[in-house]
A and B are shown apart, each in its own frame.
Chain A
Amino acid sequence: MTDETAELHPPGLTMSRREALQATAGAVAFAALPLPAEAAADSTATPAPPTHTLPLEVTVNGRVHQLVVDPRLSVLDMLRERLSLTGTKKGCNQGACGACTVLIDGQRVNACLALAVMYDGAKITTIEGVAEGEALHPLQVAFIEHDAFQCGYCTSGQIMSGLGCISEGHASSAEEISYWMSGNICRCGAYPGIVAAVAQAAKEDRT
């Protein structure tokens, strides 16, 4: 393995996915402990890589989280590995595919290119925060009605990007939707369904 970073997956090739997830969940509980005030003050004044960490407060789907993070941690890995919100997917991990799209302070962004420490105090919405209880969001309903996915891996990113596309006012025609959804790649080629779903939800949003 190369340098140990928060980007890398939990150690041990023999570890199952479930074990890895459980180990991560434990880390969350630990990380949620309040940080001593002096450590917080010290961390920016005299940092010492690679143990350099920073306190961070983010609100995810309405819930406040206080974490201590390595500055290399992406918002994507924070959500998946630290907060166990695995609905947000890691595709390319380089800002090209859109699978990791979330809303930060209402704007759609690629969570893979966002360092968590850049977003101290931010409000993040992930796919887990879109439905209200058991009631799916109209865009989620539209994705089902229009069969807007096959494997489903890109779907949460498509839906989060679709929410941004609609709220920005760029969903008035199929052509406009295609253009403004072009940051989200679908390897299965479900684009006609995705465009139709966004168009339907946009129409419902206007009425």
Chain B
Amino acid sequence: MRPFEFQRAASESEAIAAGAAGARYLAGGTTLVDLMREEVETPEKIVDINRLPLNYIRATDEAIVIGALARMSEVAANQDVRRLQPLIPETLTEGASPQLRNVASIGGNLLQRVRCPYFRMLDAPCNKRVPGSGCSAIDGLNAGHAILGTSEHCVATHPSDLAVSLVALGAMLSLKGPRGEPTIPVEELFRLPESTPHLEHTLEPGELIVEVHIPNGPYARKARYLKVRDRSSYEFALVSAAAALHVENGIIKEVRIAAGGVGTRPWRMNAVEQALVGKTAARASYEIAAAVSTEETRPLSHNGFKVKLLPATIVRALEMAGDVA
């Protein structure tokens, strides 16, 4: 690990000043410390933000509000979150291991780096790690890579499960930084790789994620997360789907769907949602609508199976959501 300067931020303004000057924020450290040890990340300065008062969970009639430093395990175990937003605990518990969830923060989860093996391999070209060096995955081992939102420069999937469910639920992020205190949809945090895959998010230098607002929509209680992977726990998704349904008299009034493991960012399935509104909440409707999900997919040499797995996962997630009493 390269030497770095270490600072503990005593206030948000102190953290933001250091961040704006180029320091990296350190919360749980489960991504950053690992990548620094591999020398994939070589920050010269680290600001430990763990003492900022951002570890909280608040429930109101309108929303669940989660501070950016709340830990994955704390959010998953919170009774208000379990009651009002059951999709979130299910999603969090399907991610990482218990040890990692005890440490990893909600803000850090959203900003975790890609899990493409070539990103970690210092002797392999990777446009995310060294812009302009090339992409080793396009002609390499790419079974785990994306089929949506790819470019000729990068095909890595976004690894967060939580982000998929937050995008489905229309969650918002409160930020704080040099441009003030903007609020943005979680979906707008993530960039497509295009020709600049090294730029992964839309935060300004020094901008801090303060909290996440998850609206208590009418679909929030009838929601499930299905994660398909090579083993049944502690593994990244091959394909995952978050599905949330609002059904009245057997008819779908409102539906939210997002998929993981398939896109270069968490992928909201707008067209599938539109195809479901007004239809009967039953497998036949789900199958017709889910077929739309593959329209813009571009499989690579080893991940053609995801084109079949994606609609199947969406159908099953919708069935699971429909079964919630």
Which A residues form the contact surface with B (CB < 8 A)? Answer: 3, 5, 7, 44, 47, 49-50, 52, 54, 70-72, 74, 93-95, 98, 101, 107-110, 113-115, 117-118, 161, 164-165, 168, 170, 178-184
Contact = CB atoms under 8 A, between A and B. Distances in A.
B33 A113 contact: yes
A117 B6 CA distance: 9
Nearest to A100: B99
Given A93-B37, A161-B99, A182-B97, 14 more contacts: A3-B2, A7-B37, A49-B4, A49-B44, A71-B4, A71-B6, A94-B38, A109-B99, A113-B29, A118-B29, A118-B48, A178-B233, A179-B232, A181-B98
Point out which of A101, A178, A183 has the most chain B C-beta atoms below 10 A from its C-beta.
A183
10 contacts: A5-B1, A52-B3, A94-B37, A94-B38, A98-B97, A114-B29, A181-B98, A182-B234, A183-B99, A183-B100
Contacts of A52: 3, 5-6
B100 A3 contact: no
B99 A98 contact: yes
B48 A117 contact: yes
A94 to B, nearest CB: 5
Contacts of B34: 94-95, 113
Contact of A101 (B3, B33, B99): B99
Contact of A109 (B5, B37, B103): B103
Nearest to B101: A183
Nearest to B233: A182
A107 B102 contact: yes
A44 B48 contact: no
Contacts of B30: 95, 110, 113
A161 B33 contact: no
A101 B100 CA distance: 10
B46 interface: yes
A3 B99 contact: no
